[in-house]
Amino acid sequence: MKTSEGSHWNERTTQQLVRYEALFSLLTDIQAEEDIERIAGSVARKWKYFANAASWRLVLLRNDNHLLVEASRGEAVVTNIAELPEWDAALLETLRPRLIPVAEAPNIAPEPPPSITSSGVREIQVLPLLREERCIALLSVAARHEAFSDLDHRFIRLFGGYLTDRLTSILTRHEATEVLINRATVDPLTGLLNRGAILERSESLLASARSLGEPLSIVLGDIDFFKPVNDTHGHHAGDEVLREVARRLRATLRKGEWVGRYGGEEFVVVLDACGKDRTRAIAERLCEAIASAPVTIDAHEIGITMSFGMATFDGAGDETLESMLKRADRALYRAKAEGRNRVVADDEQAT
């Protein structure tokens, strides 16, 4: 009898040591990794070795888009979601851990997601994960074939909390980095690339065009009669006009066509692999889009137009960005002089 009990104790201890070793190995891998998709994939493959976790679902709650990780059969999918699915929303509303036998699942409202109710699932454990009395994540874990043991429950709580904290830390750093990058590259008023960022992009594209012998075009645009808008309607109206112009420019351009705020009421468009004829067609579309409708501010309709000057590098020679900008600026000056609300190329004869 004692021998049997000792053998059973040794077997149980060995199983627990194997579980702890698997857990510590996975923790080491996660701590050394910064890519959330790779972490999710690693957990999807290895969680089953230290807890009866056949499939699982983790939602990290964020201010804007939430991060959803779904894992089953050793594969993980990471997506951003704007709204919580019904299952997770119900868990967030109750904030109560639950253990749900799958036999009861058809009677549960809302219905569990397919990712955690695959064939052979026995029961589902759902956990809200709280930090400082605030829910930061929602975890659902499914057991297959056998019900969760007490040790499974402890491992799920322990590892689920660690995984949540690790992914939250990575997300927070990524978001902070993105904020810093945006501050350095994005114009805060219009949301377009700022002067430094659009010039840096232009330099890079021009260098590539010279190397490949491909064309590249620069289009400078300036809002016509912008000063009277500020003088008559106030600077808040001028800001709204700038935002609307930026919106129309961005909506008109396509992939591979870059736009930034050059300064004041002036904007710059960079067209990669774009010759003179196509550049003119694009600039004409921009001109029409800006003039297509007035901007309504405080019940006042303010008509807006823009003048555009364009310069094209034909793919030959060693032209610099500075010389292209000067050519586009001269063409813009002529567009203003010839009546505004028009497109002028730098090599066109004056009318």
217 neighbors 279 (Cβ within 8 angstroms): yes
What type of residue is 294? P
Q: How far is CA 314 from the centre of its chain?
A: 35
**Catalytic residue, candidates 240, 244, 265, 319:** 265
User: 307 forms bridges with which residues in the sheet?
Assistant: 222
DSSP state of 122: E
Cα gap 333→221, rounded to integer Å: 10
DSSP state of 141: E
- Joined tokens for residue 63: 């201010």
- Name the strand (E) or helix (H) holding 206: helix 195-212
Pick from 177, 176, 190, 96: nearest CA to 135? 96
Cα gap 68→66, rounded to integer Å: 6
Q: What angle do CA 269, 273, 276 make, to 5 degrees?
A: 70
321 neighbors 206 (Cβ within 8 angstroms): yes
Q: How far is CA 115 from the centre of its chain?
A: 24
Q: What angle do CA 74, 67, 258 make, to 5 degrees?
A: 115
11 is catalytic: no
Cα gap 283→341, rounded to integer Å: 11
- E strands within the chain? 55-60, 66-72, 75-81, 98-101, 121-131, 134-144, 216-223, 257-263, 266-272, 295-297, 300-302, 306-313, 343-345
Determine the 3-state secondary structure of 205 from DSSP: helix
Active site residues: 265
